[in-house]
Structure 1
Amino acid sequence: MRQPEIGYSIPRPAGKNSPGEETPREGPAFLFDLDGTLVDSVYQHVLAWREALERAGIELAVWRIHRRIGMSGGLLLNALLRETGRQVTAEEVTHLQQLHAEAYARLVPQVRPLPGARELLAYLSRAGVPWAIATSGRLESARPTLEVLGVGPEAPVITRDQVHHAKPDPDLFLAAAERLNVQISASVVVGDSVWDLLAARRARALGVGLLSGGYGQDELERAGAYRVYQDPADLLQHLDEVGVRAAV
């Protein structure tokens, strides 16, 4: 079921470096992962990948797939297939990604926003704190998930299609910060996987972990999380710990 859209506007900085060039905004901005961070969709992706692999005659335990969720589809497949000793061509990788997209589309009706996700985004918007979503998924699979979350077309969303490399490379978060016209060093990256936090560290952003994707607190902290919270609702109650003042 599609949710009412969350209002969004990007706060504009007051000064300019030169005519036509905006000064990067000061203060924190939030760069969110999508699956497992804002929406409860990790296990649907796991099952979709398992179906895709089984249709290609590849048997893998579900837990192995889960450990790779958060990487781009290409990296995920390369890592998983390395464990089986099986080699695949670029064409086979593309085919498996398409099978995954088809399987995930059938599971989308099961997907729900995580507790507090919509409220967190709405609060940041009211407080004038810019935010963006940066997902390793391609637009084809991200679009229905964004509809579940209720994110409107005006909200900045960076997908795998728009960057050279996905997580754990920093490209997605760097592109999201650029879209918002904020300094990456003043940004808070929120993610549920070690891949999100490794990407945050490589981007030189502050990493915050959520337990809502299935990784443990120790794992997220070892990957670089400054703080770890249960889910978006828990983060919303502790925004002061990551530099957000109460909205007036």
Structure 2
Amino acid sequence: MSTPSTSPSAPEAGLPAAVFWDMDGTLVDTEPYWITAEHAIVEEAGGVWNDEYAHQLVGNDLMVSAEFIRDNSPVELEPLEIIEELLRRVVIQVQEHVPWRPGALELLDALQAAGVPNALVTMSWRSLADSVVGALPEGTFAAVITGDEVEHGKPHPEPYLAAARALGVEVGDCVAIEDSPTGVRSAVSAGVPTIAVPHVVPVPVTVGAVQVPSLRGLAPADLVSLFDGSRRK
């Protein structure tokens, strides 16, 4: 878990106290990288993987995904070995090309300019998170919470509660951005107003979350105005 940094100024009135970003599928379009890696690992073991299985793993804690791969394929590696192999393959792809999601970089820049701190809250492990964060200007994220640094992964609320502690903010004053049902459940259960941007898999309508088709064109103030009067004014 990274040490929080201090924002240059407090957020302006009407803006969230912080924004918590999921990574895979939300900040970067790396889900195809994961699916490619899953296919390769299973096929090299003599099995057949399919996108139905792959889509069940979107947003999961990596240990859960690794155990699922073991249970549904001839792969005999230990779960930790499966995770390490998946990460190795995805990191290679990210180092060749970081596939930013539409509108993500522009929104990050606007939030920084408005003095709103950002935290990355991902079930990917530190090696991959560092590869993505390293492609951004230094200080873009004031905290980074990764799946190998929490006891309970998404959909448990712990990752988002850890992000709030790292930044010293109240969860209800922040906004989370997620793309998967698992991630939305995690953020909402932590008490964070959540914006769902469905991508690879559909996200059910969830109390405590609103859905948008894309981050493209969203401004910092929109992250608050998307929610109804139940949120702070």
TM bucket by the smaller chain?
0.7 to 0.9
Asked if residue 10 in structure 1 is aligned to residue 7 in structure 2, the reply is: yes
CA drift of 1:57 comes to: 3.7
**Closer, same or farther: CA 119–85 of 1 in aligned 2, 3 Å:** closer
Unaligned runs of 5+ in 2: 228-233
Asked if residue 233 in structure 1 is aligned to residue 219 in structure 2, the reply is: no
Asked if residue 51 in structure 1 is aligned to residue 40 in structure 2, the reply is: yes
1:69-148 to 2 correspondences below 5 Å: 69-82=58-71, 84=72, 92-108=78-94, 109-148=96-135
Which of 168, 187, 196 is equivalent to 2:183? 196
Contact 2:46–2:74 (8 Å) recurs in 1: no
Counterpart residue type for residue 128 of structure 1: G
**Closer, same or farther: CA 190–154 of 1 in aligned 2, 3 Å:** closer
TM value normalised by structure 2: 0.81
Contact 2:66–2:80 (8 Å) recurs in 1: no
Two-structure CA RMSD over aligned residues (Å)? 2.6
Asked if residue 178 in structure 1 is aligned to residue 165 in structure 2, the reply is: yes
C-alpha offsets along residues 149-178 of structure 1, whole Å, 9 cap, x if unaligned? x15257211111221111111111111111
Contact 2:122–2:145 (8 Å) recurs in 1: yes
Q: What does residue 23 of structure 1 align with?
A: none
Contact 1:37–1:231 (8 Å) recurs in 2: no
Contact 2:87–2:128 (8 Å) recurs in 1: yes
User: After TM superposition, what 4+ stretches of structure 1 lie above 4 angstroms from structure 2?
Assistant: 85-88
Q: What does residue 156 of structure 2 align with?
A: 169
C-alpha offsets along residues 15-74 of structure 1, whole Å, 9 cap, x if unaligned? xxxxxxxxxxx9532111011111111111111122223333442202321231211211
CA drift of 1:87 comes to: 9.3
Q: Distance in 1 between matches of 2:45 and 2:73?
A: 15
Counterpart residue type for residue 169 of structure 2: V
SS of the residue corresponding to residue 154 of structure 2 reads coil
SS of the residue corresponding to residue 233 of structure 1 reads coil
C-alpha offsets along residues 65-121 of structure 1, whole Å, 9 cap, x if unaligned? 123121121111223444x38796xx6111111211222133222432112211111
**Closer, same or farther: CA 28–35 of 1 in aligned 2, 3 Å:** same
Contact 2:118–2:140 (8 Å) recurs in 1: no
Asked if residue 41 in structure 1 is aligned to residue 30 in structure 2, the reply is: yes
Contact 1:138–1:159 (8 Å) recurs in 2: yes
**Closer, same or farther: CA 54–68 of 1 in aligned 2, 3 Å:** same
Whichever structure has more helix as a proportion of its residues is 1
Q: Distance in 1 between matches of 2:165 and 2:56?
A: 29
CA drift of 1:240 comes to: 4.6
**Closer, same or farther: CA 38–48 of 1 in aligned 2, 3 Å:** same
**Closer, same or farther: CA 107–87 of 1 in aligned 2, 3 Å:** closer
Identity, % of aligned pairs? 25
